[in-house]
Amino acid sequence: MPISLRSLRTCRRQRARSLPVLVVLSVVLSAVLSALFAVAPAQAAEGSITGLAGKCVDVAGASSANGTAVQLYACNGTNAQRWSNPGDGTLRALGKCLDVVDRSTASGASVQLWDCSGGANQQWVVTAAHDIVNPAADKCLDVRGNNSADGTRLQIWTCTGAANQKWNAPASGGGTPSGFVVTEAQFNQMFPNRNSFYTYGGLVAALGAYPGFANTGSDTVKKQEAAAFLANVNHETGGLVHIVEQNTANYPHYCDWGQPYGCPAGQAAYYGRGPIQLSWNFNYKAAGDALGIDLLNDPYRVERDAAVAWKTGLWYWNTQSGPGTMTPHNAMVNGAGFGQTIRSINGSLECDGRNPAQVQSRVDAYNRFTGILGVAPGGNLYC
């Protein structure tokens, strides 16, 4: 029988005319409605991306060849400066994607035009603050050397808020720039004191691993699920402040040598990390296998890489029942209510009167977050 994330823990965590006239009217109305609904959803936002000195993001020589440099250039209205934001995380021109060279995450890595591959180096988040962020690197699109001369190459760089990283870009056709039901401004309102490690871009980058999360059911259900996840995360991390478990005395306890793969990173390497505080060697193994990341040998990646940290939280939320009877995702999309998400995360220590103060803390955060998102919290809030 599989061992859940929470079952072995020793500390806390665990949305009246004649017939011919009627026929004619019906045909006309059908044609109008068909035209509206066939065209409108397919339209992706597009236009120029302007930045430093009012100049445009430009494909050098208007070439669509793979590896063509992307640069700053005086705006001229050509297709080399016409970018679309289709809502899948990419920015496209001339039928290809804005791409970080060699999949690099280092500051100073150039950007180019390349065939769209779905890679993390082609994912971009256009933020409300006018940054264009590559979540995999957690870095911003940047004009090299703060130089506004025509032909200056663009790159990624640690986000500084400087003018050479500010852009006016077309937002995606999917609502918020990321397509997520929580905007960056709402995220920041929820977590005003968060650790800079827990970036909005990292969360958005992680969403692709579980596309059903906050994307199932009605708009109300989608927002309720997002609020429920973030409320539990808020409780587990002290408001997105803590990246790792604070009680270091517990660190050696999370190695189960009974597993055939042992603890290759060391006896004390599998302590709680990330938004749901992933712990135990077998959970690092299971999460890593599910996500295609070797977390058994490198559990420290969860505290180095914001997108990976968020993915481990989403892995638990979408696939694990813990001490409950359903996954937190299923609890929210099937109407069981927020209380069942608590039971699945830490119910063995908090539910059924065991620690009502901790339960209340989670419920308070959920009520606050649904308020920010403008939806009712629904029923069954307690466990």
Rounded to a whole number, what is the largest CA-CA distance in the chain?
A: 84
- Whole-angstrom distance, CA of residue 361 vs CA of residue 47: 45
The two structure tokens encoding residue 231: 């409320």
Cα 148 from chain centroid? 32
- Which residues on adjacent β-strands are paired with residue 134? 139
Which is nearest to 270 in space by CA: 8, 2, 1? Answer: 8
Separation CA 371–CA 369 (nearest Å): 5
Closest Cα to residue 89, out of 209, 267, 187?
Answer: 209
Is residue 184 annotated as part of the catalytic site, yes or no?
no
Q: Which of 236, 245, 303, 350 is catalytic?
A: 236
* The one-letter amino acid at 142: D
**Between the CA of residue 326 and those of 2, 96, 229, 329, 331, what are the distances in Å?**
15, 42, 14, 8, 6
Closest CA to 283 of 41, 3, 73, 81: 3
Catalytically active residues, by annotation: 236
